[in-house]
Structure 1
């Protein structure tokens, strides 16, 4: 990434509110709410197993497991191993069944936004994206007001693109935590496994002035699709 692009990314990303690279060998502070297995192996946080459970969820934040602000951006690195969906949620809460998920879908070979509620899951937006098991991917989800945006990429943290791949509007979500998520393959018993690392949550900085190069680039980034 060149110097100008690096400076722009710093402006866009904002202040770090919470991060975990799991290099300490544990996942202290993460709240694991589904009955699958969780551990830290090789400096990566893993959820795996499934059996009678068809998904794994683990959430955290900068204020006792919750996020101190409703608007933020979450980035993580992941290696999907077995399953259907792999990704994250913004504004997650145990107190509601209404959730917004940004996931890589191995089945559909795409990046997708889903709404998950009592009626099931509903597709909100998607973009083609090659998903191979045992390969490394990066993902970012940003929520600001009623707007949710997401992107995924390969090639390391410095290869993050400026353009958003998927976006949607939602007026029902409430402030909540950042969560990691994996959904398994239903057979005789559910099979699922995904490793996560380099989780970082930043605030959403104020809009950039439109008479600056950074502001112009940010405007293009907001309106650009695919």
Structure 2
């Protein structure tokens, strides 16, 4: 198995939203990707610049730069295929696919499963006939097993996922099931990519095992709510929605009238799997635990989260695409002290964020006691996690951020001292900053900003940038291939930073720090992991599917 992570790429799911969803809605019955966790069998994002391990037949294949590095098939005069891996039976093959050109009608670009040879495999393709096609080849030409109408636009990225388990085949575009079939012709084989008389770029190939659904979930127990317009309360199957847990760091501190961060504790639990249900639930008043099932595509923009909410994903395949979450009142520069109605006590855990049209998670306007934990974030438009405008007592922990430039901003502007001075108290610990060039985080005014036990990998601009009189305590982190790991002279007014007990490997630079900083231990207790072990600890524990019930 080869498993690589790529640099910043175009939005995976926004492309699907604009080019496919409008056609599919109202035509298809949509189903979410199953949430059961799965073992990785193979992965390749081509960032090493080669395609070792791939066998090719027809066409002209090479690794090119297409946003990030990608595997491109440039010819349109051949039936081109590339396969990799082993003879797996039950497998899910996923890749980002960008059609470029088609030669003739009824052509397609596709991902392959159970490929036994260049003429025997199942495929899930985007066709220039205006459809998503699920089919097979068993020695002859392509045979369609199921199809659905769709607008396929050349030059647009789509995420395709083909599942083959037992005799069941299922095809997903952008996390939404659109085609399915039953067929027993091919029992096992390799994963693959194809351009059927078509050119395309392919990236972020991931193959996992898949056992298939375990049967329908038990019937939910419904408890009527007080107001008939409110989403009914649902008892979620035990163990599937991990709403318990407590933060380490500033989110645990007793301050501003809130003792620690408990989210929806004490309130009812609801399960949501549509955008309407999610948006309604996060905006409700009072404590509420919101269990997110599957990937939910929401309208572009950021959607407001009310106080006393726990928003947590079920399993490892739950998340939000197309938009983001906003924790805070509308921006107002005239407000210089925390208002009584500031949003507070919010937990966001175990969610995948993709393709946000603005920020994936935004915390603003004196919001406080927020815990952002064990999420997977990439490929949005602006920040992945931005905290600004006087917000404080926030912990950002155990997240995996990748393929995104503007990673995490703390304090939005050099001129915002009136709102930010004495606030922006944030803890960042055990996060994996994976090829995120900058803002890891970029800090203004906050003190202390505690950055400990994070793993930094190939951040090409800077790791921690501490500016505008901020005070950053950076300790026990592992920096790998980071030229400027910690600095208080990055851009604009200088800050202060203390860097201690960190590990710097693989041509990482030295800290550029000066000044003194408040100790985080004056606010809360914490235990540092051995920085030499941080890489292994964080890569094993950060991201989705890593927290218990």
Q: What is the CA–CA distance in structure 2 between the aligned matches of 1:105 and 1:168, rounded to whole Å? A: 18
8 A Cα contact 1:13 1:205, kept in partner? no
Q: What is the CA–CA distance in structure 1 between the aligned matches of 2:40 and 2:97, rounded to whole Å? A: 20
Q: What is the CA–CA distance in structure 2 between the aligned matches of 1:24 and 1:10, rounded to whole Å? A: 31
**Counterpart in the other structure of 1:12:** 36
**Counterpart in the other structure of 1:101:** 123
**Counterpart in the other structure of 1:224:** none
8 A Cα contact 1:13 1:203, kept in partner? no
Normalized against structure 2, the TM-score is what?
0.32
- Per the TM alignment, residue 14 of structure 1 is displaced from its structure 2 partner at its CA by 1.1
Q: What is the CA–CA distance in structure 2 between the aligned matches of 1:13 and 1:140, rounded to whole Å? A: 15
Q: What is the CA–CA distance in structure 2 between the aligned matches of 1:93 and 1:152, rounded to whole Å? A: 24
**Counterpart in the other structure of 1:45:** 71
- Per the TM alignment, residue 147 of structure 1 is displaced from its structure 2 partner at its CA by 0.5
Query: RMSD in angstroms over aligned alpha carbons?
Result: 2.9
Q: Secondary structure of the equivalent of 2:132?
A: strand
Give the gaps of 5 or more residues in structure 2. Answer: 1-12, 14-31, 219-236, 242-270, 274-292, 295-549
Work out which of the residue numbers 48, 51, 57 in structure 2 matches 1:27.
51
- Per the TM alignment, residue 121 of structure 1 is displaced from its structure 2 partner at its CA by 2.6
Distance 1:104 1:206, change over 3 A: closer
**Counterpart in the other structure of 2:89:** 70
More strand per residue: 1
Normalized against structure 1, the TM-score is what?
0.74
Q: What is the CA–CA distance in structure 1 between the aligned matches of 2:79 and 2:43, rounded to whole Å? A: 23
**Counterpart in the other structure of 2:141:** 120
Q: What is the CA–CA distance in structure 1 between the aligned matches of 2:192 and 2:76, rounded to whole Å? A: 18
**Counterpart in the other structure of 1:166:** 179
Map 1:151-190 to 2 at 5 A.
Answer: 151-153=172-174, 160-161=175-176, 164-184=177-197
Map 1:121-160 to 2 at 5 A.
Answer: 121-153=142-174, 160=175
Q: What is the CA–CA distance in structure 2 between the aligned matches of 1:149 and 1:12, rounded to whole Å? A: 15
Q: What is the CA–CA distance in structure 1 between the aligned matches of 2:143 and 2:33, rounded to whole Å? A: 32
Q: What is the CA–CA distance in structure 2 between the aligned matches of 1:105 and 1:39, rounded to whole Å? A: 22
Q: How many residues align?
A: 189
Q: What is the CA–CA distance in structure 2 between the aligned matches of 1:217 and 1:169, rounded to whole Å? A: 29
**Counterpart in the other structure of 1:196:** 202
Q: Secondary structure of the equivalent of 2:151?
A: coil
Q: Secondary structure of the equivalent of 2:81?
A: strand
Distance 1:173 1:82, change over 3 A: same
Q: CA offsets per residue over residues 34-55 of structure 1, 9 Å max, x none?
A: 2x2110011000012244xx21
**Counterpart in the other structure of 1:4:** none
- Per the TM alignment, residue 116 of structure 1 is displaced from its structure 2 partner at its CA by 2.1
Distance 1:138 1:120, change over 3 A: same
Distance 1:206 1:142, change over 3 A: closer
- Per the TM alignment, residue 172 of structure 1 is displaced from its structure 2 partner at its CA by 1.5
Distance 1:59 1:98, change over 3 A: closer
Distance 1:194 1:206, change over 3 A: closer
- Per the TM alignment, residue 120 of structure 1 is displaced from its structure 2 partner at its CA by 2.6
- Per the TM alignment, residue 86 of structure 1 is displaced from its structure 2 partner at its CA by 0.6
Distance 1:119 1:21, change over 3 A: closer
Work out which of the residue numbers 106, 113, 131 in structure 2 matches 1:90.
113
**Counterpart in the other structure of 2:486:** none
